[in-house]
Chain A
Amino acid sequence: MTEPILELQDIKTHFPVQKGFLFRKQVGTVKAVDGVSLSLRRGEVLGLVGESGCGKSTLARTIMQLVPTTGGTVLLEGKNLTQSSTASVQDIRRDLQMVFQDPYASLNPRMTVFATLAEPLLVHKVCPPGEVVTRVGQLMELVGLAPRFMQKYPHEFSGGQRQRIAIARALALQPKVIIADEPVSALDVSIQAQILNLLAELVRKMGLSLVFIAHDLSVVKHISDRVAVMYLGKIVELGSAVDVIEHPQHPYTRALVSAIPVPDPDVERARQRIVLAGDPPSPINPPSGCAFHPRCAFAKDCCKTGVIPLISFLNREVACVRIGEIQTH
């Protein structure tokens, strides 16, 4: 495949934890994203999965430069976003757009569809003001909405239609990369399928690259070429979607895959489920060594210290020091 369009090198995003009211002092840091390196190829869909609190949304916001990075670099076509001035980041954002989870919250209720979709066009002066109406109409058709609804407000649309508006807004500037943060989690199954089809079609038709964040592994497997699994701010497994989700190797990925209910009563009742004990630990004070070791059935002393690197294993990268001993087929 071609060279990467988006490259993340050792991204770290930490937030200070403060205490006190008058004399605020820092008592710790939340390492929301802690050393993530990834690359997104042109035209590729990269799925990013993990449970709530694992840092996947923070990573998305870091890529968009909506939160300051603590360390590492984000390269979009070789341009460094982390060290650019605010003005040039604005400019780079034309190529990098985002779709958010909740279409009820991400659209301004006081703006009509036209105003919502025209704003990026006018701000970035993409087309002469006279052509804005035509362009907005084209955008709406692109996402499967009739242009006659241009003057309607978000509340007049259903959840799926709102998500289409949000996607149209992201497409307005003809970006090269779209970051979609849980774009279908708030939608019903039948509507979910419509939005997934739309995203897949847009990727194909417009040659987009997509970072698709979700917690639903079956959705991610369907749409993604490659998948990265995150746990407590770090990537624990990275490989092709089919490899990772059908034959997971990292103990955490195995547990995650095994936790998905299968819509088939015979399969569902026959299979052995790995039920993890407890909740993910707090990212304020993550366990040493492999962050998963307190919940891992295979953990030994060697897992409790040191830095666990991603190593190549069975066509993928896995961050587990015992992976050779505990391999499954």
Chain B
Amino acid sequence: MPLLTVTDLRTYFHTRNGVYRAVDGISFHLDRGETLGIVGESGSGKSVTGYSLMGLVPQPPGRIEGGSALFDGVDLLHCPPAALRAIRGKRISMIFQDPMTSLNPYLRIGEQLIEPLLIHEKISKPDALKRALAMLEAVGINDASSRLRSYPHEFSGGMRQRVMIAMALITKPELLIADEPTTALDVTVQAQILELIKKMQRELGMAVIFITHDLGVVAGLCDRVLVMYAGRVVESAGTRTLFRQPKHPYTIALQRSIPSTQPKGAELFTIPGMPPDVSKPINGCSFAPRCAHAADSCTTRDPKLAHITNDHEQACLRVQAGEL
């Protein structure tokens, strides 16, 4: 049985300017120990997916309109708050994009690190501090015992992200949701953090949902990938399949627009236009207005994910009809 099964998750934001369908009916599952990448451009709904699972969508304006997310038999979207609190921060942890703003500047690192332990486990403060020390050492912070007494501003960006990871992993979660954890960091530091996540995953055997816009990061880290566009999954496949045999025109276009995959100096391949406004009704396929292969039928019928092989699904109508 999968660790997490998400079915038809829909998260909408009700604002003065209309209803934004940030996540509009996505389904996926995740096994124990597996790494799932969620890629997409800004506004595709990848972060809101993570927030919805953690119950972190601000309500209002946000609202979970439907769907279910079964984590080991518990529906995260509809369980009582107390049940969710027992899971969140204990069995599911999350790390965020910006390590500069996601730590409390008023609390010493040690205090913040042991907070999840004090809440979720019957443990004394000195014992919790011992665990915090071990965890800080595990994420590669030198001189950890004196660092426990430091404040976040005394750390660099990469070190703060290490502290965030230590805090997320201190309760030995079964699932880690990482929302663009390296986007704000330099490439050399990014390499360190990715190595660290891989190492911790091996040690703890946890599953990871890795949300990113960087296909390069996905290639090295993930077992399976979901490609999101305008709140929906357009393609889902094993990492190798997705890179070797992408089927959906958006996935193909996204890969082609990366500079490093193109000959130097040549005009870069671009996707014309912009992602759609998800507060307006979209007829048919949301990618059709930017798609080079769009036909009339693309704007009339609603695309659905369909299996190509056992682990490869995609939502292009024309591919499904065998026309592409």
Give A residues with C-beta under 8 Å from B: 51-52, 158, 160, 188-194, 196-197, 200, 215-219, 221-222, 241-242, 255-256, 258-269, 273, 275-277, 279
B111: A residues at CB distance < 8 A = none
| A197:B268 contact, CB within 8 angstroms | yes
- Nearest-CB residue, chain B, relative to A225: B265
Q: Could you show 26 A-B contacts with beta carbons less than 8 Å apart? A: A51-B187, A188-B42, A188-B213, A189-B41, A190-B257, A190-B270, A190-B271, A193-B257, A197-B270, A221-B260, A255-B188, A259-B191, A260-B187, A260-B216, A260-B260, A261-B194, A261-B219, A262-B216, A262-B219, A265-B243, A267-B219, A275-B188, A275-B192, A276-B188, A279-B156, A279-B189
B270: A residues at CB distance < 8 A = 190, 193-194, 197
- Nearest-CB residue, chain B, relative to A271: B220
- Nearest-CB residue, chain B, relative to A158: B274
Residues B250-276 near A (CB distance < 8 A): 253-255, 257-262, 264-265, 267-271, 274
B243: A residues at CB distance < 8 A = 263-265
Interface string of B155-186 (1 = CB under 8 A from A): 01111000000000000000000000000001
Is B32 an interface residue, CB under 8 A from the partner? no
A264: B residues at CB distance < 8 A = 219, 243
Known A215-B186, A279-B158: A222·B195 in contact at CB below 8 Å:
no
Give the docked Cα–Cα distance between A312 and B159 (Å). Answer: 36
Give the docked Cα–Cα distance between A264 and B217 (Å). Answer: 9
Residues B216-272 near A (CB distance < 8 A): 216-220, 239-240, 243, 253-255, 257-262, 264-265, 267-271
B5: A residues at CB distance < 8 A = none
Besides the known contacts A189-B254, A221-B264, A262-B260, 17 further A-B residue pairs in the complex with CB atoms under 8 A apart? A51-B187, A189-B41, A190-B253, A193-B268, A200-B267, A218-B258, A221-B260, A242-B264, A259-B187, A261-B194, A261-B216, A261-B220, A263-B216, A263-B243, A263-B258, A265-B240, A277-B192
| A189:B213 contact, CB within 8 angstroms | yes
Could you tell me the dominant secondary structure of chain B's interface residues? Answer: helix
Give the docked Cα–Cα distance between A218 and B42 (Å). Answer: 21
Is B7 an interface residue, CB under 8 A from the partner? no
Known A259-B187, A261-B219: A190·B240 in contact at CB below 8 Å:
no
A188: B residues at CB distance < 8 A = 41-42, 213
Is B305 an interface residue, CB under 8 A from the partner? no
Is B215 an interface residue, CB under 8 A from the partner? yes
Known A188-B42, A189-B41: A276·B192 in contact at CB below 8 Å:
yes
Give the docked Cα–Cα distance between A32 and B197 (Å). Answer: 32
- Interface centre among A190, A219, A276, by most B CB within 10 Å? A190
| B213:A222 contact, CB within 8 angstroms | no
A189: B residues at CB distance < 8 A = 41, 213, 215, 254, 257-258
* Distance to closest chain B CB from A103 (angstroms): 13
Give the docked Cα–Cα distance between A197 and B269 (Å). Answer: 9
| A160:B259 contact, CB within 8 angstroms | no
B259: A residues at CB distance < 8 A = 192-193, 196, 218-219, 221-222
- Interface centre among B158, B255, B257, by most A CB within 10 Å? B257
Give the docked Cα–Cα distance between A269 and B265 (Å). Answer: 28
